[in-house]
A and B are shown apart, each in its own frame.
Chain A
Amino acid sequence: MSAATVTTAAEVVARVVDPELPMLTLGDLGIVRGVREADGAVVVTITPTYSGCPAMGAIRDDILAALRLAGFARAAVRTVLTPAWTTDWISDEGRAKLAAAGIAPPGAASRRLAGPVPLVLGGRAEPVACPRCGSADTERISAFGATACRELRRCPACREPFEHVKEI
């Protein structure tokens, strides 16, 4: 398998659509750690998003199906657990696609320097801008939504509810 062929395979993988946020590709989501060739097969390495995310199995199947359709009959998907996925790996293009679909993209994930994980009792300090009208003055309805990665918010300015991909 030539280097160009591996690059083609990598492009096919990067274009696979996320099953729960279908405006994003796996490339946008930042879960593809690498695509390489081993013994004539394409080996794709991905990072799971959440421990219990039921989409991971579907993503694995979709990667294999996309590679098969592109002519890569022999392929395998490997998982790496570490370093753990962070929303910081969502690409700028991915963030723009989320916003265009009415979903507020995540801000920067907090970085812990040392010591115990700090407890936050008062909610997040970082404002989340409304993806429709841009108002920064939005409120949380629920810290959880239809999938593990999203929360529900509302915008008092334009009176619309919207989803926000939580920083992790």
Chain B
Amino acid sequence: MSFDNAAADDAYEALIDHDDDARWAYGTGFADPLAGVSTDLPPDVDRDDLVLYCLMLGDDALIMSHRLQQWVTRAPELEDELAIANLGLDLLGQARLLLARAGEVEGAGRGEDALAYLRDPDEFRNVRLAERADGDFARLVARLLIFATWRLALLDRLTASRDPVLAAIGAKGVKELTYHREWAAQWVVRLGDGTELSHERMQSAIDAVAPLTGELFHPHEVELRLSAAGFAVDPSLLRPEFDAVLDHVLRTATLRPPPPVSPTGPVGGAGGLGPAGVSVGSAESPVGGAGGSGLAGEPAGQSAAGRVAGADRLGRGGVHGPELAEILAEMQGLARSLPGSVW
């Protein structure tokens, strides 16, 4: 086998001349994405908390990636199909790193595949924004703008984590989310500042997704404990940056800010709770009622305990809408019906 590509007339000929099939085996025997990465663990970290935190950030990326993959063959133009597929691939890469890290810290022999394919909906820790079905292209770009703006602010701060693996995953993700946010923002502006019809549909998409925004800034106790110890990011600190970016994009797009939302979204607010363990995440309008002063608005002066209240009834606590079960039925079907199978 020659690796001397300079000798080939056509650079791509270098690909044909090889001695095994490994190169074309994408999708077969994936290597551990953390292969060879240092597995050191800070001595004072709470392992159970760290596992859950890696699942939270990993599940956000995994479920959002799956929703993006569902757009493949359905996007309005080939160029945007490429964009959506690429963004989904980036998020899947981030999910693999985070789930592999969760499995490694847990130390119970569960790898990224077991965590992705063999958990039930109530074990998933993603924010519910990630699982929401899109319905139309405006909903997709609205949801992606909100998701990428929030996750970019989060991962940017995660680069200062005392866990070197989380810090490195954050640094890598920041580069990717920067262009995810740009792609979504440019579409929101193009549609919002477009025709009367595109403006109207973009506005209704922003209004429809907004109720799921409050939850993004509502910390779970695991997030608070780990951020106090310097390992994680307290999501309530992301709000000023998030609001500034959203405000800038919406103004450029000639869109108005969505109606005020509950700080916890459709499930968590006073009066918005269903019976314990029952998901009511499909509500389109905020039912929390009390509090909230705008997109992601949070009542001022809440105590840490107050901020945590209700987090167990949100996505971070494993409470999801029926849409997550649908996603998992599709995503996990093959792996569960044929355990251990390979291509």
Q: Which residues of A contact B (CB under 8 A)?
A: 12, 15-17, 19, 22-25, 45, 48, 50-54, 56-58, 60-62, 65-66, 69, 76-84, 101, 116-117, 119-121, 141-146, 148, 152, 166, 168
Q: What is the minimal beta-carbon distance from A26 to any residue of chain B, in angstroms?
A: 9
Residues of A within 8 A of B14 (CB): 17, 22
**Of the candidates A53, A82, A117, which one forms a contact with B168 in the assembled complex, judged by CB atoms under 8 Å apart?**
A82
Say yes or no for B200: interface residue by CB 8 A criterion. Answer: no
Q: Is the CB of A51 within 8 A of B94?
A: yes
Q: Is the CB of B189 within 8 A of A54?
A: no
Q: Is the CB of B93 within 8 A of A117?
A: no
| Assembled-state Cα–Cα distance A122/B169 (Å) | 28
Q: Is the CB of A53 within 8 A of B172?
A: no
Produce 1/0 per residue, B163-187, CB < 8 A to A: 0110111011111101101110110
A-B contact list, 7 entries, CB within 8 Å: A15-B4, A25-B3, A48-B172, A50-B89, A66-B3, A82-B172, A143-B183
Residues of A within 8 A of B79 (CB): 141-144, 152
Say yes or no for B114: interface residue by CB 8 A criterion. Answer: no
Would A57 and B90 be within 8 Å (CB), given that A19-B23, A79-B36, A82-B168 are in contact? no
Q: What is the minimal beta-carbon distance from A31 to any residue of chain B, in angstroms?
A: 13
B29-44 contacts to A, CB under 8 A, are 30-31, 33-37
Q: Is the CB of B153 within 8 A of A15?
A: no
Q: Is the CB of B82 within 8 A of A144?
A: yes
Q: Is the CB of A58 within 8 A of B248?
A: no
Q: Is the CB of A60 within 8 A of B23?
A: no
Q: Is the CB of A50 within 8 A of B11?
A: no
Residues of A within 8 A of B189 (CB): 121
Q: Is the CB of A116 within 8 A of B156?
A: yes
**Of the candidates B5, B33, B89, B174, which one forms a contact with A17 in the assembled complex, judged by CB atoms under 8 Å apart?**
B5
Residues of A within 8 A of B196 (CB): none
Q: Is the CB of B35 within 8 A of A82?
A: no
| Assembled-state Cα–Cα distance A52/B173 (Å) | 10
Q: Is the CB of A52 within 8 A of B179?
A: no
Residue of A nearest to B65 (CB): A52
B89-136 contacts to A, CB under 8 A, are 89-94, 96-97
| Residue of B153, B156, B172 most packed against chain A (CB within 10 A) | B172
Say yes or no for B343: interface residue by CB 8 A criterion. Answer: no
Interface of A is mostly: loop
| Assembled-state Cα–Cα distance A77/B167 (Å) | 22
| Assembled-state Cα–Cα distance A144/B173 (Å) | 17
Would A52 and B92 be within 8 Å (CB), given that A22-B5, A81-B169 are in contact? yes
Q: Is the CB of A52 within 8 A of B89?
A: yes
Q: Is the CB of A81 within 8 A of B168?
A: yes
Produce 1/0 per residue, B140-165, CB < 8 A to A: 00000000000011001000000011
Residues of B within 8 A of A56 (CB): 31, 33
Q: Is the CB of A61 within 8 A of B23?
A: yes
Q: Is the CB of B185 within 8 A of A121?
A: yes
Q: What is the minimal beta-carbon distance from B9 to any residue of chain A, in angstroms?
A: 12
Q: What is the minimal beta-carbon distance from A83 to any residue of chain B, in angstroms?
A: 7
Say yes or no for B227: interface residue by CB 8 A criterion. Answer: no
| Assembled-state Cα–Cα distance A167/B312 (Å) | 41
Residues of B within 8 A of A65 (CB): 1, 18-20, 22
Say yes or no for B332: interface residue by CB 8 A criterion. Answer: no
Say yes or no for B249: interface residue by CB 8 A criterion. Answer: yes
Given contacts A53-B93, A82-B171, A121-B185, 20 further A-B contacts (CB under 8 A): A15-B3, A22-B11, A22-B12, A25-B3, A51-B94, A52-B94, A54-B89, A56-B31, A61-B20, A61-B22, A62-B22, A65-B22, A81-B165, A81-B171, A81-B172, A84-B175, A116-B153, A116-B244, A117-B152, A144-B79
Would A143 and B83 be within 8 Å (CB), given that A51-B176, A84-B168 are in contact? yes
